[in-house]
Amino acid sequence: MQHLDTYKTKGLRKALVEGLKNKGIASTSVLSSIEKIPRHLFIDSSFLEFAYQDRPFPIGEGQTISQPFTVAKQTELLQVKPKEKILEIGTGSGYQASVLVELGAKVFTIERHRNLFLKTKELLKNLKYNAKCFYGDGYAGLPNFAPFDKIIVTCGAPFVPEALKEQLKIGGIMVIPEGEDVQKMNVYTKLSDTEFSCEEHGDFRFVPMLESRK
């Protein structure tokens, strides 16, 4: 595994961050995490240039690494603070998980595709982004590690899974794209065991959150 980060990739990343600022990302901690993380190591090495365009990109198994703007927006909405325990649904390439680790969070991430789970677990270990990777179904969350300060869902959810509502701390935030073809980026705050407030933050497109494993 090459850990190559060159002048060129650093330069491309700087330009990407400028682009994200222009698109309205304001959090300096989120922007500096994106500037630090070599996104090209999370996709196939023959597509280096694509890693720093603001687009999603295929990562195998019919899945994609989310567009940088989407990662930046979801992370900003999550208002991450160091030491927070965060659950991610949809590990995929591991890039979003690495951004959360870079921000100082304790990250737990679930992936339902076994090959992606195995590949990404190894990659994150090699890159020393110490997220805890789990192979399983995001609809069930991780009851043994709950409650979480924050939950981030990175696939399009048809509804908010009940288990995830339960596994969020009171006062905690869940960022979840909800809908079928196009998703609304919804931010829920847990007010009590049974009450949530919800804010909507625009339209996004994600690969679907699927119920049963392949």
Catalytic residues, which ones? Answer: 66
Among positions 90, 141, 172, 177, the unique one binding ligand SAH when judged by CB under 6 A:
90
Nearer to ligand SAH, 113 or 190 (CB): 113
- One of 9, 27, 33, 63 touching ligand SAH (CB under 6 A): 63
> What's the CA gap between 70 and 195, in Å, rounded?
27
Task: Region of 178 please: left (phi>0), alpha (psi -120 to 50) or beta.
Answer: beta
Residues facing 198 on adjacent strands: 188
The yes or no reply on residue 93 touching ligand SAH (CB under 6 A) is yes
Residue 70, SS3? helix
Contacting ligand SAH within 175-214 (CB under 6 A)? 207, 209-210
**Residue 92 or 172: which CB sits closer to ligand SAH?**
92
Length of the chain, in residues: 214
- Among positions 95-114, residues that touch ligand SAH (CB under 6 A) are 95-96, 110-113
Question: Please, are residues 53 and 43 in contact by the beta-carbon 8 Å criterion?
Answer: no
The answer to whether 205 and 156 have CB atoms below 8 angstroms apart is yes
Query: What does the binding site for ligand SAH look like in residue numbers (CB under 6 A)?
Result: 63-66, 89-90, 92-93, 95-96, 110-113, 116, 137-139, 154-155, 207, 209-210
